[in-house]
């Protein structure tokens, strides 16, 4: 009999490994390092991030996902997600709730307001429309840039984007930290069984919801950190940002899980049996032969 998976809300968020061989043995999933073996608690995390230098057996991947843990292959320190294996028997309840909230303009707007309120507190008017919310966001972000430029003494000339741009040190650091933030957010979103593409504020991109969630933490985390690191006048801004990102985001995945569950009014669940949709009866059990049912007994629709 399949053991029930722990509720997502009760799991730890992410586990990152690199430069090891991951195998399944009698004790569970083990990472073989040069310094010894380490038992990976995959049944207690929502996603395992696999960095460079890792070999993993097919049997191990199968066991990890069967335990309800997503597997994400990433660049070093989880800075960018390359591929993901999701648990096949995980409940779709979270994804369906996300889609329901997105499909109604009224509930979509309510989610957007909850996100802005999480960022800016009680300053968000209860009936503010999206234009007003965008204006509030723009003003707060500009104020954050000015505040941290003044605090650190780093010159701020504005945000610079695009391949043709010539960013200064603080822009290089900020872009690198934000890329790492997106990767962490992406892993959490997938680990919760949600769609990265179904955004409530952002739209039109396969990572729209990732951008929605990541924006919750920029003014608190990546913007002040970018100015702090730029003030050190590093020779390699991107390298310094990558080295500090792990420490900077310590504890963030757990906070992120809590926030997303609250924003989308979710209750984390494990695996549930697959059902069959019926417009009259709701969901009926799958894996059952309904051949004895006489279609002639059904009313016309």
- pLDDT tens digits along 25-54: 887 899 998 888 888 888 888 888 888 899
Q: Are residues 107 and 174 in the same domain?
A: yes
Band (5; pLDDT cuts 50, 70, 90): very low
**Which residue reads 């799991």 in tokens?**
11
Q: Choose the most confident range, by mean pLDDT, from 43-57, 61-75, 110-124, 143-157.
A: 143-157
Domain that holds residue 47: 8-85
Residue 285 has pLDDT above 60, yes or no: yes
Q: What does the pLDDT average to over 244-250?
A: 86
- Clarify whether residues 50 and 79 are in a common domain: yes
- Same domain, residue pair 192 and 245: yes
Q: How far apart are CA 48 and CA 59, in angstroms?
A: 15
Work out the pLDDT band at 269, boundaries 50, 70, 90.
very low
State the average pLDDT over residues 5-10.
Answer: 47
Q: Are residues 48 and 117 in the same domain?
A: no
Query: In the β-sheet with 12-17, what is the strand arrangement from edge to edge?
Result: 12-17, 45-50, 70-74, 81-85
CA–CA gap between residue 42 and residue 48 (Å, rounded): 7
Check pLDDT > 60 for residue 301: no
Distance CA 139, CA 85 (A): 39
Average pLDDT over residues 56-67: 89
Nearest to 15 by CA among 60, 39, 50: 50
**pLDDT at position 195:** 95
Residues 129, 18 share a domain = no
User: Which one has a higher pLDDT value, 242 or 99?
Assistant: 99
Same domain, 225 and 156: yes
Residue of 42 and 163 predicted with greater confidence: 42
The verdict on residue 277 lying in a domain is no
Tell me the residue ranges of DSSP E strands in the chain. Answer: 12-17, 20-25, 28-33, 36-39, 45-50, 54-56, 70-74, 81-85, 275-278, 282-285
Count of domains forming the chain:
2
CA dist list (Å): 227 to 171, 233, 237, 270: 9, 10, 11, 41
**206 pLDDT higher than 70:** yes
Number of CB atoms found within 10 A of residue 264's CB: 19
Residue 165 is predicted with a pLDDT of 74
Higher model confidence: residue 233 or residue 78? 233
Instruction: State both tokens at 21.
Output: 């061989």
Q: What is the DSSP string of 131-176?
A: HHHHHHHHHHHHHHHHHHHHHHT--------STT----HHHHHHHH
The predicted pLDDT at position 212 comes to 98
Choose between 124 and 30: higher pLDDT: 30
Residue-averaged pLDDT of the chain: 85
Per the domain annotation, does 156 fall within a domain? yes
Domain boundary among 85, 106, 123: 85
For 70-107, the pLDDT digits (tens) are 888 888 766 778 888 877 667 788 999 999 999 999 99
pLDDT exceeds cutoff 80 at 177? yes
- Given a cut of 80, whether residue 12 has pLDDT beyond it is no
> Is the separation of the CB atoms in 103 and 244 below 8 Å?
no
Question: Which CATH number is 212's domain given?
Answer: 1.20.120.920
What 3-state DSSP class applies to 81?
A: strand
pLDDT at 271 over 50: no
pLDDT at 247: 86
Whether 301 is in a domain gets the answer no
Q: How confident is the model at residue 296 (pLDDT cuts 50, 70, 90)?
A: low
Is 151 among the domain residues?
Answer: yes
Average pLDDT over residues 154-164: 85
Same-domain status, 237 and 258: yes
């Amino acid at each position: 009999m399949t053991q029930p998976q722990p509720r997502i809300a009760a799991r730890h968020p992410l586990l990152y490994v690199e430069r090891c061989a991951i195998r399944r043995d009698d004790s569970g999933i083990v990472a073989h390092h040069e310094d010894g073996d380490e038992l990976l608690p995959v049944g207690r995390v929502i996603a395992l991030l696999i960095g460079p230098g890792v070999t993993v057996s097919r049997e191990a991947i199968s066991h990890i996902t069967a335990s309800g843990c997503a597997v994400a292959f990433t660049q070093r320190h989880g800075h960018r997600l390359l591929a993901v294996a999701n648990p096949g028997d995980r409940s779709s309840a979270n994804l369906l709730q996300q889609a329901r909230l997105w499909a109604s303009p009224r509930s979509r707007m309510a989610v957007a307001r909850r996100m802005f309120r999480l960022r800016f507190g009680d300053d968000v008017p209860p009936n503010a429309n999206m234009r007003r919310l965008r204006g509030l966001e723009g003003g707060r972000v500009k104020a954050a840039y000015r505040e941290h430029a003044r605090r650190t003494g780093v010159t701020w000339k504005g945000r610079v984007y695009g391949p043709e741009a010539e960013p200064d040190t603080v822009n290089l650091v900020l872009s690198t930290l934000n890329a790492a933030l997106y990767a962490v957010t992406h892993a959490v979103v997938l680990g919760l069984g949600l769609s990265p593409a179904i955004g409530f504020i952002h739209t039109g991109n396969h990572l729209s919801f990732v951008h929605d969630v990541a924006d919750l933490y920029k003014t608190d985390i990546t913007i002040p950190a970018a100015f702090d690191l730029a003030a050190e006048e590093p020779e390699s801004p991107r390298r310094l940002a990558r080295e500090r990102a792990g420490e900077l985001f310590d504890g963030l995945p757990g906070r992120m899980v809590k926030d997303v569950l609250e924003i989308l009014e979710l209750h984390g669940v494990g695996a549930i049996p697959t059902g069959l949709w019926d417009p009259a009866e709701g969901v009926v059990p799958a894996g059952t032969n309904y051949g004895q049912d006489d279609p002639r007994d059904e009313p016309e629709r």
